[in-house]
Amino acid sequence: MSTKPARRPKRHGKSKPYAERPIDPDKPGLDVRLAAARLLAAVVDKATPLDALTDDENGNPAYLALDGRDRALCRAILLTALRHRGSLSALIAEMLDRPLPPNARALDHLLHVGATQIVHLSVPDSAAVDLAVTAANADPRLSRFAALVNAVLRGIVRMPADRRERIMAAVANAPEWFADALERDYGAEKSKAILQAHRSEASVDLTVKDDATGWAERLDATLLPNGSLRLPHNTPSIMTLPGFEEGAWWVQDAAATLPARLLGAKPDMRIADLCAAPGGKTAQLARTGADVTAVDISTSRLRRLEGNLRRLGLNARTVQSDLRKWQPETPFDAVLLDAPCSSTGTARRHPDIPWTKSDAVVEKMAALQANLLERCIAFVRPGGVVVFANCSLDRREGEAVAAAFADHEQVEPLPVTADEISGFEQAVTAEGWIRTTPDDWPNLGGVDGFFAARFRRL
Ligand SMILES: C[S@@+](CC[C@H](N)C(=O)[O-])C[C@H]1O[C@@H](n2cnc3c(N)ncnc32)[C@H](O)[C@@H]1O
């Protein structure tokens, strides 16, 4: 691969002399594009989670300097740029004689921000091109590439739609490590279906306390086979919806409701929800009337859990502790370990995940999960139940951890049966584990990827 800068894009001899135009630093919309390119760099080059960069209190200064509407546009550009990053890269590459050199990161990010608006967002093409060129001119590292930015983006604007589609559909639209891991775990056909599902934004699902049918009508939502509600895509802010203030429901992906259902929770049981925050599964367990202790290492996330339970009118004891050191005074009847993981099963909601995680992260998380799961044996009484779950698609974090734990002399597998998880019968594996992937329920819009396995302490 050539490392020479691609100074001249293909077929673009007639680009306008943008580089010679005066720069207007106050140009409307320029600060949004500059912020988007900077944040894209932080995600892709520094593996910083997008949610941290766009947090309304502690986010990146370039983001916090934007007003509310511009923040929304900046986030929309970033979510879309990351969701379609692989196919947008292919489109940009098509416009270049040779690849950009590896050190031309800022140029690459600016092109991605521009191409995202042209291909996927309802920003006028002329504005997307013009602002990208102005942004290039405003940056001393990039000003000599302003004509190239102009030519590449104009080339994408002029490209016939069917050719664009062909180029974008022909690539895996995922980083190599992630595409390889999926293919190894699921085979060529299924991994393709998962990556296809990742091209669409996930819906918002709700778990309701009671009267799912009534709330489905009131919220204009779809009642899913497992009893969750799925909101329409254009739903405005969750907090303004009927039932939020009164605590009638909470946000939780349909597949994320499965692990808590495996504990057989009921009023006389003592249950520990481990790695509990922000508390979707704690709420499910508390709702049964069980005596629930929720443990998490993060103080701020536990505060969110407590706020959520208050709104829902549900009770649980909360404990801030690192599970690697925690020791309960009395063993529980059942524990749920919703272990920290690479979270690749939620890539439709967090399209930065494939671009910020790696094989090394997956392996580190799998080792941590095995360690935490082993500690769970001491947390339950003999005969008690341990449920292990996480939202990774990677079998190193799910099936492999469960298979190794099943060999432990102090536990036996307690296979899940289809009748225990009505609506998700197809998710039960031959081993009696649960595995969901984003391409499940294709006609309803998919679900998050989840894994769960159940054991009994001997
Ligand atoms: C996947 S999230 C849990 C989601 C939660 N169960 C729910 O349903 O809303 C993982 C949680 O594990 C917590 N965590 C990570 N390492 C931990 C540790 N060593 N001890 C306790 N909690 C930990 C994180 O703070 C995070 O809140």
> What's the CATH superfamily of 18-169?
NusB-like (1.10.940.10)
3-state secondary structure of 94: helix
Residue nearest to ligand 1 atom 1, measured at CA: 340
Domain segments of the chain: what residues? 18-169, 203-252, 255-457
As given in the structure block, the two tokens for residue 231 are 């909101």
pLDDT in tens, 184-233: 999 999 999 999 999 999 999 999 999 999 999 999 999 999 999 999 98
95 CA to centre of ligand 1 in angstroms: 44
Q: What is the largest CA-CA distance in the chain?
A: 77
Architecture per CATH, 255-457: 3-Layer(aba) Sandwich (3.40)
Which segments are annotated as binding site?
A: 275-281, 296, 322, 338
pLDDT value of position 5: 40
The packing angle between helices 85-94 and 68-83, to 10°, is 80
pLDDT value of position 25: 67
24 vs 10, 94, 128, 139, 294, CA distance in Å? 29, 30, 15, 12, 54
Nearest Cα to Cα of residue 155 among 144, 164, 142, 165: 164
Beta strands in 94-227 (DSSP E): 205-208, 222-223
Q: Which residues contact 393 (CB under 8 A, 6 or more apart)?
A: 181, 182, 185, 194, 344, 345, 347, 437, 438, 449
Q: List the catalytic residue out of 74, 341, 376, 391.
A: 391
pLDDT in tens, 330-358: 999 999 999 999 999 999 999 999 999 99
Residue nearest to ligand 1 atom 27, measured at CA: 277
What phi, psi does 336 have (nearest 5°)? Answer: -115, 120
253 vs 64, 174, 259, 332, CA distance in Å? 29, 23, 12, 27
Name the strand (E) or helix (H) holding 272: strand 270-274
332 CA to centre of ligand 1 in angstroms: 19
CATH fold for the domain made of 203-252: Alpha-Beta Plaits (3.30.70)
The 8 Å CB, 24+ separation contacts for 303-310 are 304/277, 304/278, 304/279, 305/276, 305/277, 305/278, 305/279, 308/250, 308/278, 308/279, 308/283, 309/279, 309/282, 309/283
3-state secondary structure of 257: helix
For the CA of 326, the closest atom of ligand 1 is 20
pLDDT value of position 7: 43
Which segments are annotated as binding site for S-adenosyl-L-methionine?
A: 275-281, 296, 322, 338
What phi, psi does 207 have (nearest 5°)? Answer: -105, 125
305 CA to centre of ligand 1 in angstroms: 11
Other Cβ atoms less than 10 A from the Cβ of 360: the count is 9
Can you give the pTM of this predicted structure? 0.93
401 CA to centre of ligand 1 in angstroms: 17
Check if 297 has its Cβ closer than 6 Å to any atom of ligand 1: yes
Is 391 one of the annotated active-site residues of the chain? Answer: yes
Other Cβ atoms less than 10 A from the Cβ of 29: the count is 17
Check: CB of residue 283 under 8 Å from CB of residue 305: no
3-state secondary structure of 319: strand
**Low pLDDT (below 50) residues in the chain:** 1-20
Any idea of the CA torsion for 418, 420, 422, 427, to the nearest 10 degrees? -40
User: Cis peptide before 232, with omega less than 30 degrees from 0?
Assistant: no
- Side chain identity at residue 369, one-letter code: Q
- Side chain identity at residue 414, one-letter code: L
